[in-house]
Amino acid sequence: MKVLVAGGLGYIGSHTCLALSKAGVIPIIYDNLSNASINVLEQLTLISEHNFTFVEGDIRDQQRLEKVMVEHDIQAVFHFAALKAVGESCEQPRRYYDNNVSGSVVLLDAMANAGVKKIIFSSSATVYGDPQYLPLDELHPISATNPYGWTKVMVEQILQDNCQADNDSLAISLRYFNPVGAHPSGLLGESPNGIPNNLMPFIAQTAVGKREFVSVYGNDYDTPDGTGVRDYIHIMDLAKGHVDAFLSHQKDTGFLAYNLGTGQGYSVLDVITAFAESAGKEVPYKLAPRRSGDVACNYADASLAKQKLNWQATLGLSDMTEDTWRWQSKYPQGL
Ligand code: NAD
Ligand code: UD1
């Protein structure tokens, strides 16, 4: 069975291609290389000893999408293709709505014309906006606090409406908490462009000597040590979650949403401490003011995925920091 993986050379898409391939599902990778290196393809082969089919293309190119879907008899689409920087989305909202929302509509049009009925969509815990209660379950009200977040809310709505209009179609929205870590081989991982916004890549770059210190954004939150608490999930668990979601719903239709998280929160200082242990060196940090838009605490109720998909995270914080360090120290400049 072949599936199209849009955005498949990116951080989460590439790890999911490995998980799909391991499960006997053949991923056809489709990516415009706007935030990925073509070298990822070689790493995928190195790790899996399989060759992967890659088509360079944009999800806003309907003709190309339809051609690939028909040519490969695509059975489902895994949709990772999006821009994802929160700050940038506030500065360039139209670019985000065009790429993430218009792009998704074009992708759905192409799927409709090619007769592809299933889509697995990369959503985010950002669709819960400011948490009204914790842990966050899938019934928590949906909202957003920035244009990037709104693109996720909008695409989820479009997917729901699309399923209403076509009874045969299936859309699974996977709401990721904080994906971190790397492939345990150290051959594949996350390499953000420029200065990382997210905590784990910033810590990793500090440990490897590319940054002087980590700024800890706020130590006066109502959390055990005063720093922000998040639900970090290992990329290998996350990737497996996609395969389990897809395979568990082979015969189903409609719109379904699942949290993919561990249910366990860690503070900024917990992550820095764990990383220092994995790297065998101190990670310098300085306390800094709160970052605007941040909440104190955010973690998942991951029980629905356990119940319906028989999926649960298996890897802990030390796996996340060890694997990130292995990747970061092997490829300090990324691929
Ligand atoms: P990424 O930037 O590494 O991967 C996205 C991939 O999509 C890149 O390879 C990029 O080149 C490609 N792409 C972007 N726009 C495209 C377009 N118009 N046409 C074709 N390809 C395009 O990001 P990631 O971290 O792997 O995220 C994957 C998905 O998961 C995104 O939708 C993101 O919003 C979502 N998500 C990520 C996180 C996270 O923390 N990384 C959290 C929640 C949700
Ligand atoms: C951020 C985005 C979220 C997005 C997610 C994944 C914001 C407000 N939220 O989530 O929408 O889905 O990334 O891309 O941008 N921290 C530091 N120092 C740093 C970096 C982060 O102390 O240099 C702290 C933050 O204050 C937070 C925690 O580390 O408490 C995690 O931050 P981050 O990795 O950026 O993820 P989120 O803010 O949870």
Q: Please write the tens of the pLDDT for every residue from 77-120.
A: 999 999 999 999 999 999 999 999 999 999 999 999 999 999 99
- Domain hosting 242: range is 2-180+233-261
Q: Is residue 192 part of a domain?
A: no
**Ligand 2, pocket residues at CB < 6 Å:** 84, 86, 124, 126, 149, 178, 197-199, 202, 214-217, 228, 230, 268, 291, 293-294
Q: pLDDT digit string (tens) for 305-328? A: 999 999 999 999 999 999 999 999
**Cα(243)–Cα(255) distance, integer angstroms:** 17
**3-state SS of the chain: helix, strand, coil percent to 5?**
40, 20, 40
Does 191 score more than 90 pLDDT?
Answer: no
Residue 211 and residue 237 in one domain:
no
Q: Residue 254: helix, strand or coil by DSSP?
A: strand
For atom 22 of ligand 2, the residue with the nearest CA is 216
- Residue with CA closest to ligand 2 atom 6: 178
CATH of the domain at 156: 3.40.50.720
Give yes or no: residues 174 and 287 share one domain. no
Query: Quick one: 137 exposed, middle or buried, by C-beta within 10 A (0-12, 13-18, 19+)?
Result: middle
Per-residue pLDDT band at 71 (split at 50, 70, 90): very high
What pLDDT digit, counting tens, does each position of 283-293 carry? 999 999 999 88
37 C-alpha to ligand 2 centroid (Å): 24
